[in-house]
Structure 1
Amino acid sequence: MTDTKSLEDASKDFAADLSALRDDISKLTASVAKLVKAEASATTDSVYGAMDAARQKLSDHASDAKEKISGASSDLEAVIERNPLMAVLIALGAGLVVGLLTGGRK
């Protein structure tokens, strides 16, 4: 009878331990899910921040390039106005070179 009683006690203890283990696994799963969600959110925020910084940098570089091109265009116009004959001769020479390089029509 004592063997049966100790077997029943051991079975109850095992069932209680198994139940506690299930609860611990459920809590651990919930904690891991929260951690993964928080890390994913932080990573997403980091990526969006990097994209915004890159977009701003690209915009700054584009406006700098636009200003430089505008300045170069103004300088070129001033040079053409000062030396119109030279500008025409340079354009003629460039046209001839391009025509010779492309082979022309035969």
Structure 2
Amino acid sequence: MAKSAERAVEDLARDLTALREDVAHLSEAMGELVKHQTQAAGLRVSDAVEDAKEKIASTAADAQKRVRAASGELEAGIEHHPWTAVLIAFGVGVSFGMISRLRR
């Protein structure tokens, strides 16, 4: 009976050692999985940031083109109708002057 108890204790010790090894392997596997998932998420975020940069740059370039075109049209309009431009500028100046007096 003592031998069977010793054998049971040895079996239990072996099982515990195997269990510790399995837990260690599982822990390593989980660490690798988390590492790979983190890298994949980082790549997705990096790609999204690059896409956003490209869209912003494209939008900024389009806006710049539109501003240049509008500026050119405005200059052409002023060249063709200089007195109208002077009267508009005078009206805007008078309006700002009146508004600034009302706020005092």
Letter in 1 for 2:28: A
Name the count of aligned residue pairs. 104
Take 2:81 and 2:57, find their aligned partners in 1: how far apart are those partners? 36
1:71 and 2:69 equivalent?
yes
Q: Which residue of 2 aligns with 1:9?
A: 7
Within the candidate set 70, 73, 88, 1:90 is matched to 88
Which blocks of at least 5 consecutive residues in structure 1 are unaligned? none
User: Segments of 4+ in structure 1 off by > 3 A?
Assistant: none
Q: Which residue of 2 aligns with 1:32?
A: 30
**Alpha-carbon distance, 1:46 to partner:** 0.3
TM-score, scaled to structure 1: 0.95
Letter in 2 for 1:61: T
Identity %: 39
Q: CA RMSD in A?
A: 1.3
**Alpha-carbon distance, 1:89 to partner:** 0.3
Per-residue CA deviations over 1:5-57 (Å, capped at 9, x if unaligned) read 11100000000000000000000000000000000000000000000000000
